[in-house]
Copies of this chain bind each other. A is one copy, B any other.
């Protein structure tokens, strides 16, 4: 299946911080770090249920927080009313494209934005910390009617 030891870095992080390495934490980390999607806390809970390794809601949230603090996962808010989590992979700063029809998220990088937003902030006396760009639109699959290549996992969307 692929993701053999995707959680290794997380285990290392926990050990370094003298935090217990529990089965629940490994399960949550495995799901988030092993996914290419931008999962919501609920998505994670559901995937774990489906996988037969149910974890309590509170623990899912608490573990996501630890993952974010470890730097292995990034928290996103696309204005949908809930947060999503994605593994930090290599791509440091990237932008998002959100399909308003199926909810799929595509990411891409554009170096210009980094510099542009810094200049824009300076022009208004702000010391830039970060920026968030989300482009809302309709993906190719939704436009051409092909219900294929979407989120893939049925237990994810629709919400």
Q: Which A residues fall within an 8 A CB radius of B?
A: 77, 79, 95, 97, 99-100, 106, 108, 110, 112, 116-117, 120-121, 123-140, 143
Contact of A137 among B79, B95, B127 (CB under 8 A): B127
The answer to whether A134 and B131 have CB atoms under 8 Å apart is yes
Contacts of A129 in B (CB 8 A): 100, 136-138
A131 to B134, CA, bound (A): 6
Q: How many Å from the CB of A61 to the closest CB on chain B?
A: 14
Given A121-B97, A124-B97, A124-B106, also A136-B143 (CB < 8 A): no
The answer to whether A137 and B128 have CB atoms under 8 Å apart is yes
The answer to whether B135 and A108 have CB atoms under 8 Å apart is no
